[in-house]
Structure 1
Amino acid sequence: MNRRRFITGSLAMAAAHGTGGIASLFSRAAFAADSEIADGHSRRFDFGVLQSAARELAQKPWGGAPRPLPETLANLTPQAYNSIQYDAAHSLWNNVEGRQLDAQFFHVGMGFRRRVRMFSVDAVSHQAREIHFRPELFRYHDAGVDTAQLEGQTDLGFAGFRVFKAPELARRDVVSFLGASYFRAVDDTYQYGLSARGLAIDTYANGQEEFPDFTAFWFETVKPGATTFTVYALLDSPSIAGAYRFTIRCEKTRTIMEVDNRLYARKNIQQLGIAPMTSMFSCGTSERRMCDTIHPQIHDSDRLAMWRGNGEWICRPLNNPQKLQFNAFVDDNPQGFGLLQLDREFSHYQDVIGWYNKRPSLWVEPRNRWGKGAIALMEIPTTGETLDNVVCFWQPEKAISAGDELAFNYRLYWSAQPPVQSPLARVMATRTGMGGFPEGWAPGEHYPQTWARRFAIDFIGGDLQAAAPKGIEPVITLSGGEARQIEILYVEPFDGYRIQFDWYPTSASADPVDMRLFLRCRGEAISETWLYQYFPPPPEQRRYVDDRVMRPA
């Protein structure tokens, strides 16, 4: 499953009929004479209007797949599509004095077949006017587009939008919404990484996954000097419709999104994913079978972090498993979770193309009570870095039935570090390798070749230094096998402690082994909880190869 390319197959919104509600919101008004790019007649708009439209839309049958694009756009290569650039002279807020933000639109074409409608909203009068597509908004360069096929196609719409922030106006964007309900943001490195989505449906369920689409956006005109903007979105899919409000703060070192949504189910939904995010993990410091490249590590995110409703902090390092894995971490009113990229050292990646050391983390902070459910994590095997193979979201415990109305409010933090962290000792890194012998030796004549797997978990911060004289106790829980040779090692270079143990199988089972570890001092937890899922090899592969033995060529 190629998730980076799947967004090119997004679906179309339902056609609007009748009067009032959704039909009024998308009325095909005649053009108004105006020099700005918003050229439609005014219609009243606010979040309440959008909610009513989404509720009404959910009561209608879904409209089906998108209409075909003009041939000159449908057959574009990725290189040709990328050469189409929006003309900055026609940017959305180009006429705002002292502007710190500006917005431009993506052209439809290639796999981006969704015709997304765009509207400009006056924040004072609450009047919205549509921005219709026209070729003069773009520069086609050498894309080979026959613009004659585009003349008069005012309903062609756009594929998405991106926002720029001073002093990089029209040069480097900081927010991008493109394809289905996918969107991304950056911190002060200007380096994109993982993606978020408006909603996930049946990601790991019986049947095909459903990808809802943002089918229209409404932009409130920014105030002079403002670094915050508000955009509204209509979401639509075969199973659900929704109204979204994004209040996006483009700060100096991070981007923060306040997300308010109202969801209206058309059908019963087996698995609903709230605040979904999609990332990539090829290889890291553990289970390095896929690191046969010049790069020591390759990943957009290195861990799933969770701040549970009961106050417990959890670190779950990501995997590139040999077969698809789905895990659900049950919780009640979670305080936060996210996919983080905490290893920021260039030398740990040696990558001058992807700049993985600069990729942002994404943290979700619920702002209303989400109740019982689970933080779901799906990890898909991948052989390279072009496949987004990690998906995470909140799944409500209660089943979703047709006619249900739901509301989830939350903040998204796009930044190098999450906005909060545990006051206890934190997991810095997880390392794995062959075990069954003392460090510094190898299996051989002095140490029997008894197969084992070694785990080393590095902890930093908290009260480790104060706890050390009193005694640090690793508490290890395994779903299978046993831990031996448990060691507690102080590591001066990072001023922390390494907990090292060897895992020995106690059966022939090759089922995943769930591991749990935290540090305790005199009966009290002094670290966050480390969770890991290990995939032991079958018995016939549990052996060491003695490389001292010469073999014929």
Structure 2
Amino acid sequence: MLLRAAQAQTGPAQTFSPSYVRELARALAAKSFAPPDEKLPDALKDLNYDQYRSIRFAPEKALWRDEKLPFEVQFFHRGFFYKNRVDIFQVANRSVIPIPYRRDDFSFGEGLGQWPKADIGFAGFRIHAPMNRPDYHDEVCVFLGASYFRAIAKGQTYGLSARGLAIDTGEGKGEEFPVFKAFWLEKPVPNASSIVVHALLDSKSAAASYRFTIRPGQSTVFDVEMALYPRVDIEHAGLAPMTSMFFFGPNDRKDFDDFRPAVHDSDGLAIFNGRSEQLWRPLNNPHDLQVSSFADVNPGGFGLMQRERNFLAYQDLESNFEKRPSLWCEPIGNWGEGAVKLFEIPTKEEVHDNIVAFWQPKQPLIAKSEHIFTYRLHWGPDAPKPGALARFTRTGIGSRGDDSKLFVLELMGDELKAIDAKTVKGVVTAEKAEIKNIVTQPNPMTGGWRLSFQCSVKGQAAIELRAFLAQNEAPVSEVWTYRWTP
């Protein structure tokens, strides 16, 4: 009702303050949850994919285009999967100005019926800025569907997504999907290098406010300030959730007859934990749901990464997987005890996002209280501070008879180029499985190193593996972790 009142106002504009959306979220959490408004005109209720795709926003009607500002905003129509009404406001000179839906701002494909020119709100929006060249506004990020958003950096194409909040992911009672129900877009000043977006989130279990400061560039950075107000105790909350796709790769090709060597938006989960370890967990498309938990205290960062940047690794002229962004979360402040959670969901089609990662606090988020989290999201080619240790760049797995698997791991790093090969060894351990034939050697074809070993798999349902390179017992590489499943 607060949002409807703001949109319907005919008197003086409301005054926007730094706590404006936070106060709305706090007030919203004190009330019973009201499901999102999905009411649509009959002509829009049952659109198929092609019909929805035919609805286009007119670029010349973009917000701020006529003012020649460094950022422009275009809007998404409601329909198809995107039935929830989203209210969007502009903030200019501290005044809150509703942005009304106007049917004439869109073009429509043939076969769509007519409906009244009432204000039906939007499904979401996208932000454009001159990222690749100064005379053209490129699409930088999109907020569309539930609490999903995604972004790209210079020279990249869209891949994985982020979310505002995950609740009960992987739990038997079913996942809860919070939604962004309103946004406030701060009007940028001329020559601005960033834009600020505020969002109001709502769900059955909680309400929350967000402040996104978005800076496009070689890496596109989101500074995120989140204030969460649970209606009930939340035991399984996912903070800074990321959603991606891993169909197959050199570590997991056994079920795929495809001309391409690999198909994925992300190839691994990277973690800089609070113990100063750097972990690398290659992704998998398992036969059964796999849930991995990396317990930690005050993590340094985590992210779903696309390390393989060579077109020849994919051979896909249309999808350009080598141009998909990595997404790195950098917590700001102390996040306490918890775990980075990884969910690998079986899929038989590449159109499905089957990978989820987030931070889960150890303690439940208590109802009727305020929980503040601040973090930075980096969308780009790599983590912002890759570190000095050598990194695993490829995981290959093949059979050695019926009872054994050969693992071939490739590493790259400046530290390895001048190292004495006689002083380096591979350290490999496995839970309840035999490891043999560990070989560590320079790879003259890549300028890096190769670590290979065999692992017995007979009768095993799952095997946890861990490996790294060491010199004089000290690690010279990050730690490779992997869960092998049949």
TM-score normalised by the chain length of structure 2: 0.96
Instruction: Specify the alignment match of 1:360 in structure 2.
Output: 325
Q: How does 1:238-249 map to 2 (within 5 A)?
A: 238-249=204-215
Instruction: Specify the alignment match of 1:461 in structure 2.
Output: 413
Answer yes or no: is 1:76 the counterpart of 2:47.
yes
Instruction: Specify the alignment match of 2:261 in structure 1.
Output: 296
- Could you say what secondary structure the match of 1:27 adopts? helix
> Pick from 425, 429, 432: which aligns with 1:477?
429
Q: How does 1:180-259 map to 2 (within 5 A)?
A: 180-251=146-217, 253-259=218-224
> Pick from 447, 467, 485: which aligns with 1:495?
447
CA distance in 2, matches of 1:160, 1:273: 23
CA distance in 2, matches of 1:355, 1:312: 32
| Conserved 8 A contact 1:204-1:271 | no
Q: CA deviation at 1:379?
A: 0.2
Q: CA deviation at 1:197?
A: 0.4
Q: CA deviation at 1:90?
A: 2.1
Q: CA deviation at 1:50?
A: 1.1
Answer yes or no: is 1:409 the counterpart of 2:374.
yes
| Conserved 8 A contact 1:426-1:462 | no
Provide closer, same or farther for how the CA distance between residues 49 and 265 of structure 1 changes in structure 2, counting only shifts above 3 A.
Answer: same
Amino acid at match of 1:115: R
Q: CA deviation at 1:276?
A: 0.3
- Could you say what secondary structure the match of 2:451 adopts? strand
Instruction: Specify the alignment match of 1:52 in structure 2.
Output: 23
Provide closer, same or farther for how the CA distance between residues 202 and 450 of structure 1 changes in structure 2, counting only shifts above 3 A.
Answer: closer
Answer yes or no: is 1:160 the counterpart of 2:121.
no
Instruction: Specify the alignment match of 1:145 in structure 2.
Output: 112
Runs of 4+ in 1 over 4 A off after TM superposition: 167-172
Q: CA deviation at 1:275?
A: 0.3
| Conserved 8 A contact 1:470-1:521 | no
- Could you say what secondary structure the match of 1:455 adopts? strand
Q: CA deviation at 1:462?
A: 4.2
CA distance in 2, matches of 1:329, 1:26: 45
Q: CA deviation at 1:399?
A: 1.2
CA distance in 2, matches of 1:369, 1:405: 16
Q: CA deviation at 1:208?
A: 1.1
CA distance in 2, matches of 1:72, 1:402: 41
Q: CA deviation at 1:474?
A: 1.4
Q: Please, which runs of 5 or more residues in structure 2 have no aligned partner?
A: none
Provide closer, same or farther for how the CA distance between residues 241 and 328 of structure 1 changes in structure 2, counting only shifts above 3 A.
Answer: same
Q: CA deviation at 1:249?
A: 0.3
- Could you say what secondary structure the match of 1:92 adopts? coil
Q: CA deviation at 1:450?
A: 6.7
Instruction: Specify the alignment match of 1:103 in structure 2.
Output: 73
- Could you say what secondary structure the match of 2:407 adopts? strand
Instruction: Specify the alignment match of 1:112 in structure 2.
Output: 82
CA distance in 1, matches of 2:421, 2:288: 44
> Pick from 240, 264, 269: which aligns with 2:234?
269
Amino acid at match of 1:27: A
Amino acid at match of 1:283: F
Deviations 1:415-455 (A, max 9, x none): 012211121111111111012xxxxxxxxxxxxx6731100
Provide closer, same or farther for how the CA distance between residues 130 and 480 of structure 1 changes in structure 2, counting only shifts above 3 A.
Answer: same
Q: CA deviation at 1:145?
A: 3.0
CA distance in 2, matches of 1:28, 1:121: 13
Instruction: Specify the alignment match of 1:308 in structure 2.
Output: 273
Provide closer, same or farther for how the CA distance between residues 200 and 168 of structure 1 changes in structure 2, counting only shifts above 3 A.
Answer: farther
| Conserved 8 A contact 2:303-2:327 | yes
| Conserved 8 A contact 2:421-2:441 | no
Instruction: Specify the alignment match of 1:91 in structure 2.
Output: 62
Answer yes or no: is 1:135 the counterpart of 2:114.
no
Instruction: Specify the alignment match of 1:513 in structure 2.
Output: 463
Amino acid at match of 1:454: L
| Conserved 8 A contact 2:36-2:181 | no
Instruction: Specify the alignment match of 1:20 in structure 2.
Output: none
* Structure (1/2) with the larger strand percentage: 2
| Conserved 8 A contact 2:71-2:137 | no
Structure 1, 324-333 or 82-91: larger mean CA deviation: 82-91
> Pick from 518, 529, 534: which aligns with 2:484?
534
CA distance in 2, matches of 1:53, 1:359: 36
Instruction: Specify the alignment match of 1:279 in structure 2.
Output: 244
Provide closer, same or farther for how the CA distance between residues 468 and 150 of structure 1 changes in structure 2, counting only shifts above 3 A.
Answer: farther
Amino acid at match of 1:185: A
Deviations 1:168-200 (A, max 9, x none): 888741110000000011112240000000010
Q: How does 1:283-432 map to 2 (within 5 A)?
A: 283-432=248-397
| Conserved 8 A contact 1:455-1:500 | yes
CA distance in 2, matches of 1:143, 1:131: 27
Q: CA deviation at 1:150?
A: 2.8
| Conserved 8 A contact 1:165-1:227 | no
- Could you say what secondary structure the match of 1:288 adopts? coil
Amino acid at match of 2:161: S
Q: CA deviation at 1:31?
A: 4.9
Percent sequence identity over aligned pairs: 39
Q: How does 1:21-40 map to 2 (within 5 A)?
A: 23=2, 26-31=5-10
| Conserved 8 A contact 1:426-1:461 | yes
Task: Tell which structure's C-alpha radius of gyration is larger.
Answer: 1
Amino acid at match of 1:159: A
| Conserved 8 A contact 1:84-1:143 | no
Deviations 1:353-409 (A, max 9, x none): 211111010000111211110000000011121110000000001112321321111
- Could you say what secondary structure the match of 1:196 adopts? strand
Instruction: Specify the alignment match of 1:444 in structure 2.
Output: none
CA distance in 2, matches of 1:290, 1:189: 33
Q: How many residues align?
A: 484
Q: CA deviation at 1:28?
A: 4.5
CA distance in 2, matches of 1:225, 1:462: 38
CA distance in 1, matches of 2:268, 2:395: 10
Q: CA deviation at 1:316?
A: 0.3
Deviations 1:100-129 (A, max 9, x none): 22101100111211100010101xx31111
| Conserved 8 A contact 1:306-1:338 | yes
Q: CA deviation at 1:470?
A: 4.8
- Could you say what secondary structure the match of 1:464 adopts? helix
- Could you say what secondary structure the match of 1:493 adopts? coil
CA distance in 1, matches of 2:37, 2:53: 22
- Could you say what secondary structure the match of 2:28 adopts? helix
Instruction: Specify the alignment match of 1:126 in structure 2.
Output: 94
| Conserved 8 A contact 2:6-2:98 | no
CA distance in 1, matches of 2:264, 2:275: 30
Amino acid at match of 1:306: I
**Alignment RMSD:** 1.8
